[in-house]
Structure 1
């Protein structure tokens, strides 16, 4: 048994209340179990209990064993002085507040239904290799419950991504254009090079880039120079274009004192990447985008469809980077593909718009932004395949994002009691109609 099971049992009062008494024999009446505390301190706040003849309003703390109280040093923490009942699996010790007063305890394990406990253990003790611990029991859950849980997981995933955008926004002095710039550069790394591209955004401030956006050659020089990709080697020694960019970069580097922040060529990842995903290819696409789209945030915020966003991302790439995979190495380079633009919409545009909508209080914009995911095709990987094989709807990127969130936030960590599907199975499983 895990502590989260006792939290679940207390929250929903799924235990035998016949002759309910504390470990000391005092009668208990639960008038209100309290609400879960997401911050530091006791597990449930604002509980209302009658202990004997006295009614109490306060907090409830939950442990598997009463002796966990001193192990967690609660006896020295004033935040726990508000606890009026210590709910435990087993009562193996008396505990006290900082002033030495004893806290009444309620042992739940003797009051748990064996069937309830068995259903819970079936879920959390499923083999680690099982992607969905509830897979054998899914037929007992109505389809509407599964659908609503996937939709809830989708919204949670979008909110989590929006939280990252908001943290970036605060770090950048609440500048939405700079926030968009940093988020876009990191996203153009498409996982393998997200980290160095995020550092490149810091190494090349938007304020500097803005002054030269009108000149594509200078944009290229700044991007590739700060990325450490304009070094002279055997491939670039005879390349006049790269030599010209290097000269331009040297001038700009000294002008803005950029050199100390520049990345080094070896910091970029090429291993197991197709040439179309090589860092210079992505930087060439970014150079075209930053030159052709002077107002990044406004364009992404006001686009009304995925088609309009795809057009935004298909900015003309500088000619050299249409014909070179790396500096000095020629080859035909494909344009930014549809799958890439779909990922940019999913991982940048939607979270960015949701973050802004929350910031200015526009719930309709949140809804319309999340709806963009329904215009994108479904993603396919080992996790979405597992859910799809079990009958979950998987037609659009909205479905994919919901299933990925379900796996990451609920199924993989075995947070079954926090999931509507698992909660339904633990409470009272019955055949779905």
Structure 2
């Protein structure tokens, strides 16, 4: 059993309250169980309890064993002096506050119905299942599943927006620079997101802005700072790369960029299709930076999906349409629609949610969800398994919600915080 289960039982009062008494015999009436505390200190705050004839207002602390109180050093922590009831599964010893007074305890071991405990344990004992509740899922109404996916989606959006907000603070409140860093990172398409994020730090937008009208200088700065302009056997006779190298040497000296460039070996090419090589993605990023001078404004104000698609549909330089890597020739496809959908999901969406939080307009989040609903569903082994189990999967909004559900709730077995898991447990008599 995990302590989380006792939190769930106490929060929803899913235990036998007949002749409810503390371990020393005081009659207990729970007037208000309190609310979960997400910060340091007792587990539930502002609880209202009547012990014998006295009403108490304070906190409730929960442990599997009463002795965990001492193991966690609560007897020396003033935050726990406000605890008026110690709820435990097993009361193996009395505990005290700092002043030595005994904390009343309630033992739940004999008050939790076996079928409720067994249902909870079944949820945790299926390590190979995508959903711990796979076998019991048909018992859960579709509306419960759908609402939980929507909730997981909103949580995922808020988490991504929080990352953007932190970035916004680091770039001193510059939304255009925030958009640039977010876009650059997203152009890494997972495998190269980390080196692209470092490249954006090593090549500030303020420098790129000065050379936006000159695509050759933009390429020189981006590919030079990325470490792709060093002379190799493949590029020894490549005049175009030599030209970029000369431009970069001048610009590196001008902007004191010595020592900040990445090395070519820091980029991932292994197990990537040539169309997803980092050199190809860098060329596509340069094309966007050259053709679209106002990133953030465009991301924020684009009225519809076709406008956003058109924003990213810009041609790369002739050289990069015919080279996968510096000095390595090949016919390179343009940025595909599916890749643009990924960029919209990972750039436009979190930027809009972060801005909505910043200006205090939560209603803008609804338009973000609507935008995701226009994008096609993303198919991978996780989303396909959820769809096979009966979850709705018609758009990117569904895909993002399902991925969030899996990573935040199903994979870590946080069934008690999930509406689906909670609904399964509520079907047991002890939960009613």
| Match in the other structure for 1:97 | 97
Q: Where in structure 2 are the equivalents of 1:172-251 lying within 5 Å?
A: 172-251=171-250
| Match in the other structure for 1:111 | 111
Q: Deviations over 1:211-234 (max 9, x none)?
A: 111111111111000001000011
Distance 1:84 1:174 in 2: 45
Which of 225-234 and 67-76 deviates more? 67-76
Q: TM-score, normalised by structure 2?
A: 0.97
Distance 1:243 1:310 in 2: 34
The CA deviation at 1:429 is: 5.6
Which of 28-37 and 307-316 deviates more? 307-316
Report if aligned partners of 1:292, 1:316 keep a CA contact under 8 Å in 2. Answer: no
The CA deviation at 1:427 is: 1.2
Distance 1:97 1:146 in 2: 43
Q: Deviations over 1:339-362 (max 9, x none)?
A: 111111111111110110111011
The CA deviation at 1:299 is: 0.4
Report if aligned partners of 1:66, 1:88 keep a CA contact under 8 Å in 2. Answer: yes
Distance 2:125 2:271 in 1: 37
Query: What runs of 5+ residues in structure 1 fail to find an aligned partner?
Result: none
Does 1:369 find its partner at 2:368?
yes
Distance 1:330 1:19 in 2: 82
**How large is the Cα RMSD of the aligned pairs?**
1.1
Report if aligned partners of 2:199, 2:226 keep a CA contact under 8 Å in 1. Answer: yes
DSSP-derived class of the 2:231 partner: coil
| Match in the other structure for 1:397 | 396
The runs of at least 4 aligned residues of structure 1 exceeding 4 Å deviation read: none
Q: Deviations over 1:247-306 (max 9, x none)?
A: 111111111111211100110010000111111101100111111111100000001222
Report if aligned partners of 1:141, 1:429 keep a CA contact under 8 Å in 2. Answer: no
Q: Where in structure 2 are the equivalents of 1:54-65 lying within 5 Å?
A: 54-65=54-65
Distance 2:286 2:353 in 1: 26
The CA deviation at 1:87 is: 0.5
| Match in the other structure for 2:2 | 2
DSSP-derived class of the 2:49 partner: strand
Report if aligned partners of 2:116, 2:428 keep a CA contact under 8 Å in 1. Answer: no
Distance 1:330 1:375 in 2: 37
Distance 1:180 1:95 in 2: 54
Q: TM-score, normalised by structure 1?
A: 0.97
Query: What runs of 5+ residues in structure 2 fail to find an aligned partner?
Result: none
Aligned residue pair count: 429
Q: Deviations over 1:180-216 (max 9, x none)?
A: 1111111100011000000000000111111111111
Distance 2:393 2:261 in 1: 43
| Match in the other structure for 1:122 | 122
| Match in the other structure for 2:22 | 22
Report if aligned partners of 1:230, 1:246 keep a CA contact under 8 Å in 2. Answer: yes
